[in-house]
Structure 1
Amino acid sequence: MINRNKRFVLVFMSLIVLSICLAACGGNKTNNTPAATVAPTEAPTERKLTDALGNEVTIPANPQRVIASYLEDHLVAIGIKPVAQWSVPNGIQDYLHDSLADVPTIPYDLPFEAVTSFEPDLILMAYDANVEGDKFAQYSKIAPTFTIGDKLIADWRATLLKVGEVFGKSAEAQKALDEYDAKAKAAKEKLQSTIPGESAAALWFVQGNFYIVSEKLSSGDLLYNQLGLTVPEVVKEVSATGTGNWNAISLEKLAELDADHLFLVNSGTDADSQALSDPIWKNIPAVKNGKIYEYPSTSSWLYAGTIAYSQVIDDVLESIVK
């Protein structure tokens, strides 16, 4: 089975590129941004690390101009500000705005010319495909290039720890995880005392189509595994055959959704939102009972990481725990 996180990112990119009304900000800017700020730790020194593809990469002692497309959540978590941030034509990771507001964008496919223009001193790649063929050699001519790799990137926790290792910030990465886990534990206890045994589901609406989160991946892992909410039968059924973090589901199938609470990420436009006025939709129990909580496409529900998930926890508590 194709790596689930990689598959989701590819699907997500294509959907967002086609979506004409995805709320996002930021176009490419000229390279007059301040250099990335990396907080020094203990006497940084140049190191050699082997990446996921077996390449021995020389990591600069204290990299100041980092490009790590689609790894920005982890960078911010350990106190690193990249010199450019991931983007598709109509979108960025808006939920990181507070930390990356002044950081210019770079296309998700990292054209060589664009990468060169930012004069990076270290490049982190998320997926194997980022450096397939002769791409690794080409990027390595620009700056040392380290690949996290498909296998590791599937686990956001392991990815954060690896990013921390690359930058000599393993302690900061572990601290970010520990603080997040404490927050998730407290939220779980609060939910269990407030709505014991109640169920929930998360939906993504885009271009007139619905996608439901997988039981064990992305925001589904957070809702069910970390926060202890009950998994609806429809979610179990779709997850059993689905291959991605978010899987397509018909409006007719949604009519069977037996969730007490429903979280909706709405990336729709006025032109494609008829489904949200359909009688079938309005008769879904959670919708009918006013237990639906809507978030814009700029929210963090479609992403993974300590920052993304921390914001989702805030959303869940604000919606359910009055």
Structure 2
Amino acid sequence: MVINKKSLFMFLSLACLMLVLGACSSNNSSEETSSAKTVTDAVGEMEFPANPEKVLAPNMEDYLVTLGITPVAQWSIGTSVHTYLQDELKDVPLISWDMPIEDVIEAEPDLIMFESEAAIQEGMYEEYKKVAPTYVFKPEDTEDWKTQLTVMGKLFGKEDAAKTAIEEYEQKAKDAKIQVKEAIGDESAALIWVTGGQFFVFEGDRYASNVLYKDLGITMPTYIKDLGKSQDVWQAIALEALADLDADHLFIMAAENEEGIETLENSSVYKSIPAVKKDQVYFFEDSSNWTINAKMANEATIDLVLESLTK
């Protein structure tokens, strides 16, 4: 076979080009691989994927949306979802709170996240790991929403977004606190959730109580102080136990046609509460923002509290 100079030059040029392209491809692959990171969660070490595009994080959608991430599916109990997030999640399919493995597989996530080990159905952790890398938050990382958002920001490489979101919230709460003080002074307030004919009083550190008492500086009634710190399992209380509720304002969450409301309003106990006597009771059909502690939920709570107290 005879190869002339022109053919040899073209052959060598092509070979060099292939080598360069191969090197570029190798470098890109190496960069992508190195951007995945080994992290330690509540279970142990795991490989946190680089730039996951299909994140499944039940009951943590607020955090994802705050960071500009749309989840592949959203937490639900039946058809009930986090209503306050539906402007952002209205087109996102639902997945049941107990995360059935067949539904998880169908969602095709490239990352699964759980808020705690207790949030995982017994014996299912290894099954979820077979579907996608699974991250479980440490208890100390979920003690408050700001810490959790900061941790998530680091995991997703969105530290600046997390910091900005926290700063925005703190400014909103600071401004609202001034308005609340001007509106009600040192008057107290409490929150009650009525569901399934049962009554749940928010302790001073449960969900939206953090907004009322810590962020907005509203006075905590003695009754709420005496409840102490919240426990993991939320216990319903007897209607009669509300006899000592010394709140000047009362926020009540109850779905439309909730059976417990009629029982509550017809009771002499309810009528004896200072807030009821003063006609300072505010009803809300949507409980979703009140029963979770996260940035967007708390912002919604602030707006509703201001609307109620300053009208």
Scaled to the shorter chain, the TM-score interval is 0.7 to 0.9
The aligned counterpart of 1:213 is 202
**Equivalent position to 2:110, from 121, 131, 138:** 121
What is the aligned-residue identity percentage? 38
User: Which has the larger displacement, 130-139 or 111-120?
Assistant: 130-139
Change in CA separation of 1:107 and 1:149 when aligned onto 2, cut-off 3 Å? farther
Would the aligned equivalents of 1:255 and 1:283 in 2 still touch at CA under 8 Å? Answer: yes
Q: Which runs of 5+ in 2 are unaligned?
A: 1-30
Decide which moves more: 251-260 or 46-55. 46-55
Quote the residue 1:15 is aligned against.
none
Q: After the TM superposition, which residues 150-165 of structure 1 pair with which residues of structure 2 at under 5 Å, given as runs?
A: 150-165=139-154
Conservation of the 8 A alpha-carbon contact between 1:49 and 1:166: no
Q: Which residue of 1 aligns with 2:306?
A: 317
Deviation for aligned residue 1:270: 5.1
Any idea what SS the aligned residue of 1:141 has? helix
Cα distance in 2 between the residues matched to 1:271 and 1:296: 13
Question: How many equivalent residue pairs?
Answer: 279
1:142–1:276 CA distance, 2 compared to 1 (3 A): same
Q: Does the CA-based 8 Å contact 1:207-1:268 persist in structure 2?
A: no
SS at structure 1 position matched to 2:200: strand
Map 1:166-181 to 2 at 5 A: 166-181=155-170
Q: Render the CA deviation track for 1:77-117: whole Å, top value 9, x for unaligned.
A: 11100010011124211111111000001111212211111
Higher relative helix content: 2
What is aligned with 1:259?
247
Q: 1:138 maps to what in 2?
A: 127
Deviation at 1:284, TM superposition (A): 1.7
Q: Indicate the SS of the match to 2:37.
A: strand
The equivalent of 2:42 in structure 1 is 53
| 1:304 paired residue number | 293
Tell me, yes or no, if the aligned pair for 1:214 and 1:244 is still in contact at 8 Å.
no
Aligned to 1:199: 188
2:277 pairs with 288, 302, 308, which one?
288
Separation of aligned partners in 1, 2:271 and 2:224: 19
What SS does the aligned partner of 2:42 have?
A: coil
CA-to-aligned-CA distance 1:51-87 (integer Å, 9 cap, x gap):
3225332233221111011110100111100010011
3-state SS of paired residue (2:244): coil
For 2:100 and 2:167, the matched residues in 1 are separated by 36
**Higher RCO (Cα < 8 Å, 6 or more apart):** 1
Structure 2 CA distance, aligned partners of 1:230 and 1:132? Answer: 39
> In the TM superposition, what is the alpha-carbon distance from 1:268 to its structure 2 partner?
6.7
For residues 88-127 of structure 1, the aligned pairs below 5 Å read 88-127=77-116
Using structure 1 for the length normalisation, give the TM-score.
Answer: 0.80
Task: Identify unmatched segments of 5+ residues in structure 1.
Answer: 1-42
Q: Which has the larger radius of gyration?
A: 2
Structure 1 range deviating more: 108-117 or 67-76: 108-117
Q: From the superposition, tell whether residues 54 and 127 of structure 1 become closer, same or farther in structure 2 (CA, over 3 Å).
A: closer
Post-superposition Cα deviations, 1:4-56, rounded to whole Å, max 9, x if no partner, equal xxxxxxxxxxxxxxxxxxxxxxxxxxxxxxxxxxxxxxx98632132322533
User: 1:246 offset after TM fit, Å?
Assistant: 5.3
Q: Which residue matches 2:238?
A: 250
* Residues 205 and 268, structure 1, Cα contact 8 Å, conserved in 2: no
Amino acid at match of 1:86: W
One-letter code aligned to 1:207: G
Alignment RMSD (CA, Å)? 2.2
